[in-house]
Amino acid sequence: MHEVSVVSTLVDAVIRELGKYKVKKVNSVTVVIGEMTNLGQEQMSFAYEIVTRNTILEGSEFIIEPEPIEVECDKCGYVGPVKVISDPDFDTHSIPVLACPECGGPIKVTKGQSCVVRCMDIEEEE
């Protein structure tokens, strides 16, 4: 499962960052996950529970903020979201079309590829 390795990388980074503080408790960790990453939110949450076991992050809330895809077209200057094809076999899955919705030209993806920690809600020791 791809999500487990992604989550453990994020968790490692968070734990390293927390080493700078006298942390009593971690309430929540918020991450931004782009829609281009194809990471499943449910799988991410599940992986978080497993990966954080026996760490300072155990029991904290894992908040996922999805980041929609945004593209830029070199040809016509279009900036915005892409067209999405929904797959009738998978209601929950939609496939982004990586071509300009205006002119069909090649595009550059400018948003939707993030996989970063946005913030942490922690309680420090007095």
- Please identify, using beta-carbon distances, which residue of 66 and 105 lies nearer to Zn ion: 105
Q: Which amino acid is at 80?
A: G
Shortest Å, Cβ 107 to Zn ion: 7
- Please identify, using beta-carbon distances, which residue of 46 and 78 lies nearer to Zn ion: 78
Contact status: 100 vs Zn ion (CB under 5 A): yes
Q: What are phi and psi of 7, to 5 degrees?
A: -65, -40
Shortest Å, Cβ 19 to Zn ion: 47
**One-character DSSP codes across 58-122:** TT-EEEEEEE--EEEETTT--EEPPPEEEPTT-TT-EEE--S-TTT---EEEEES--EEEEEEEE
- Please identify, using beta-carbon distances, which residue of 25 and 108 lies nearer to Zn ion: 108
The residues, any chain, with a CB within 8 Å of residue 33's CB and separated by 6 or more, are 39, 41, 44, 64, 65, 66, 67, 114, 115
Pick from 22, 53, 75, 108 the residue near Zn ion by CB under 5 A: 75
Shortest Å, Cβ 80 to Zn ion: 10
Shortest Å, Cβ 72 to Zn ion: 9
Site residues for Zn ion per CB under 5 A: 73, 75-76, 78, 100, 102-103, 105
